[in-house]
Amino acid sequence: MTESVAGTSMGGLFAEIMTAKSVIYVSLLVCLIITMIYIFLMHYCAFWLSWISVGLIQCALVAIGYFAFSYRKD
């Protein structure tokens, strides 16, 4: 079935999705598990976990800004 739709304009996209569907399913499962763990931790230690999240987001934004600035200089 993948070969029959791969020749059309949008068929290549759908063929790649069909080929990678197991990876997509595993990614969804991992995201669901991580989300459930995060919700469970938020139930018991919401104060610390929320501040850790804020700190990690801030560090990520600073790192993105640094790398964007250094990329622009090159």
Tokens coding 6: 């791969």
Per the structure, the complete domain to which residue 49 belongs is given by 2-73
pLDDT single digits (tens) 1-22? 556 655 677 777 888 888 889 9
- Residue 16 pLDDT: 83
Query: pTM higher than 0.95, yes or no?
Result: no
Under DSSP, is residue 69 helix (H, G, I), strand (E, B) or coil? helix
Count up the domains in the chain and report the number.
Answer: 1
CA distances to 39, 52, 54, 69, 71 from 65, rounded to whole Å, are: 29, 20, 17, 6, 10
